[in-house]
Structure 1
Amino acid sequence: MTDLADVRRFYARLMAANAGWADPRLEAAFAAVSREAFLGPGPWTVVAGNGKVETPSADPVHVYQNVLVSLDADKGINNGEPFLHAMWIGRVAPKPGETVTHVGAGTGYYTALLAQLVSPGGAVTAFELEADLAARARKNLEAYGNVTIIHGDAVIGGLPPSDIIYVNAGVAAPPAEWLKALKPGGRIVFPWRPAERVGLAVMVTRMDKGFACDPFMRSWFIPCIGASAATPAPKFLNRDKAARSRSIWLTADKTPDRTATAVIGDVWFSSQDVGGRRSQ
């Protein structure tokens, strides 16, 4: 019989290796947080391609793989793919003492990992729009003194000043208020869905003179209500054009110019970086 602690430690090593982040705290966090505690009682439904498979038992060993686990099948809400989240967390590189806002917390598994990584001294504010999931997250995270769960809409409610905004629902563009909530040097990572066939994970960093933009991988998430279709999709926008984006601007601060890859609501994306260099 394999010891569950050994399984969790091996899983954590895989997550850290996939993230490519040298900080050993990522592996430690994945080893410390029990995924099954955030999934409800097993057996669990695993999403595989276009199908679903039920685990053969309620043995937690089955969920320590790179699999999506269904949380609300009717709404298509899952506990997301661990490899993806390990990569994203490695990108934003949470540090002790930082403040994180988590948009789309689900039942709180990745919220717990973020809370571990900003300890000591840091805090996580997690928004979840679905009442049932927010209640489950609040219960699951009772032991985390540095986490606040908010059942509410992160799009219309405003975000607290943040070093990191971690978004787990697809947006046509990040609302201007999210960008304004970033502290100097702050990072936001989000699934960008500006058009039906365009899905990219993007990290934006607040620089002295603007917001640097890095589309770093393909990504598909369920839509973020209120921020997924604020305006018609930009004409002629395809994945290659979107991937050339190197900065993002508030239209109130800078008028879109010929470098624009997409203009969506009150923000626009540019193929020119904040230093004025064009992407190739």
Structure 2
Amino acid sequence: MNFNKRADVAEIRAFHAKLMAAASKSIDPRLERVFELVPREAFLPPGPWKVMVDNRYFETPSDDPAYLYQNALIALDATKGINNGEPFLHAAWIGATSPKSGDTVSHIGIGAGYYTAILSALVVPGGRVEAFEIDPALAEKARDNLRAFEGVSVTHGDATTLPVPSSDLIYVNAGVKVLPRSWLLALRPQGRLIFPWRPSEKVGVAVLLTRTDAGFAARPFMPSWFIPCVGGAGTFDDAVKDPTLDDAWAIQSVWLTSDRAPDETCVAAYRHLWFSSSPLH
């Protein structure tokens, strides 16, 4: 056995892609290949890079991309605490939302575009990704990074107030307290909306909504902590009723107050929508 032989970056990326596919818990055979084809280093600042562990950054010894293929946050802008997201978390989200060819995806809070590129590769042929980033420097960087990817449009601005197109999937990468009504209404039949719900400073839960004939089904499925959404959906002053941690994990449906008034199943309520512990009927 040759202990001096080191795997090259392509081999390391391929193994990381295999782990990502496993973390997705999906049977989609395309995922491993897509995770392998999109290089993480192409969507990051020049190395050495800052890797976050336990809310602290550690600088890599060099600019060798091999350091990037681990399940860790990598700084995009360390001064603002903006990172390229945790790979296995995004693998799980992608597996849960099942992007497929022909889908229209709205990706909100794209950073420099790494996971946008992966979503783009999963919706071709025939699909598109409408990407939104509120930080002007990141939006410009993402636009450059994504030029080679088919069907991607990058918009600089606040997606809580800008029009979001009719979507099969809305993929949100910023902590949200109050979902904008426009996002729910933008979902097509059987459309999915995945977002990090931050109903209070101490609660962070990834929630998957699905628009059905009966309404919006909700499934909390993993802890999730993102920096707060800068726009109106990130504020903490719109609550009629905030949930406890147990309440947040109990939600099974979401209702617009214009469609149905909160009832005894309500665990969280805001001016225009509320979360229920009851499933759709």
TM-score (norm 2): 0.96
Match of 2:194 in 1: 189
Q: Which amino acid aligns with 2:99?
A: P
CA contact (8 A) 2:200 2:242 kept: no
1:92 offset after TM fit, Å?
0.4
The answer to whether structure 1 residue 270 and structure 2 residue 276 are counterparts is yes
Alpha-carbon distance between aligned partners in 2 of 1:269 and 1:87, rounded to the nearest angstrom: 23
Residues matched between the structures, number: 275
From 207, 211, 215, give the equivalent of 1:206: 211
The letter for the 2-side match of 1:259 is T
Q: Which residue is 1:278 aligned to?
A: none
Q: Secondary structure at the match of 1:100?
A: strand
Equivalent residue for 2:3? none
* Separation of aligned partners in 2, 1:169 and 1:88: 14
Distance in 2 between residues matched to 1:173 and 1:235, nearest whole Å:
12
**Equivalents in 2 of 1:267, 1:72: separation in Å?**
34
Structure 1 CA distance for aligned equivalents of residues 49 and 264 of structure 2:
50
Determine what percentage of the aligned residue pairs are the same residue.
55
Partners of 1:144 and 1:23 in 2: CA distance = 21
1:142 is paired with a residue whose SS is coil
Given that 2:220 and 2:251 are in contact with CA atoms closer than 8 Å, whether structure 1 keeps it comes out as yes
> 20, 27, 34: which one pairs with 1:22?
27
Q: Which residue of 2 aligns with 1:160?
A: 165
Provide structure 1 residue ranges, at least 5 long, that are not aligned to the other structure: 276-280
What is residue 247 of structure 1 aligned with on the other side?
A: 253
Which amino acid in structure 1 is aligned with residue 250 of structure 2?
R
| Cα deviation, residue 138, structure 1 | 0.3
Q: Report the RMSD for the aligned CA atoms in angstroms.
A: 1.1
Q: Distance in 2 between matches of 1:197 and 1:189?
A: 20
Q: Which residue of 2 aligns with 1:106?
A: 111
User: How many angstroms does 1:242 deviate by?
Assistant: 1.1
**Among 68, 74, 93, the residue aligned to 1:69:** 74
Match of 1:54 among 50, 59, 66: 59
Q: Gaps (5+ residues) in structure 2?
A: 1-5
Query: Partner of 1:88: helix, strand, or coil?
Result: helix
What is aligned with 1:34?
39
Please report how far the alpha carbon of residue 52 of structure 1 lies from its aligned counterpart in structure 2 after TM superposition.
Answer: 1.0
Runs of 4+ in 1 over 2 A off after TM superposition: 230-237
Distance 1:236 1:112, change over 3 A: closer
Query: Given the superposition, is the C-alpha separation of residues 236 and 191 from structure 1 closer, same or farther in structure 2, using an over 3 Å criterion?
Result: closer
**Matched position secondary structure for 2:41:** helix
In the other structure, the counterpart of 1:5 is: 10
Letter in 1 for 2:122: L
1 CA distance for matches of 2:238 and 2:152?
A: 36
Shift of 1:234: 5.3
Alignment of 1:224 onto 2:229 = yes
Residue by residue, what CA displacement relative to the aligned partner does 1:119-142 show, whole Å, maximum 9, x if unpaired? 111100000000000000000001
Take 1:245 and 1:218, find their aligned partners in 2: how far apart are those partners?
14
How far is 1:249 from its partner? 0.6
